[in-house]
């Protein structure tokens, strides 16, 4: 008695899935951004990112966020002292 209902249920499910058409509009690309990525340095002490050129004190040392040689990232370097 249950077999006819199972066959009808599977047939209805298959027909429902087959009748759906995929969307023709492409999904928006999340990787594309309007602004270019600016190199930054992260400070765990402050809990935030600093832009290249900004200075702060980390663990008691004065440091500056400087760009790496390829310009893609930032790194902490000891700050230059004024003479």
pLDDT value at residue 4: 75
pLDDT value at residue 18: 60
d(CA 2, CA 7): 9
User: What's the whole-model pTM score?
Assistant: 0.52
pLDDT value at residue 23: 64
pLDDT value at residue 3: 75
Q: What's the pLDDT tens digit per position in 16-66?
A: 666 666 666 665 655 455 467 889 999 998 899 999 999 999 888 999 999
Hey, which bits of the chain come out as E strands?
Answer: 40-43, 48-51, 55-58, 61-67, 74-78
Closest CA to 76 of 32, 60, 53: 53
Q: Which residue has the higher pLDDT, 12 or 77?
A: 77
């Amino acid at each position: 008695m249950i077999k006819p209902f199972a066959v009808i249920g599977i047939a209805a499910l298959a027909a429902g899935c087959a009748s759906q058409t995929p969307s023709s509009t492409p999904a928006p690309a999340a990787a594309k951004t309007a602004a270019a990525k600016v190199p930054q340095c992260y400070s765990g002490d402050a809990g935030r990112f600093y832009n290249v050129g900004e200075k702060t004190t980390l663990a008691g040392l004065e440091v500056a966020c400087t760009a790496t040689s390829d310009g893609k990232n930032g790194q902490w370097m000891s700050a230059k002292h004024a003479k």
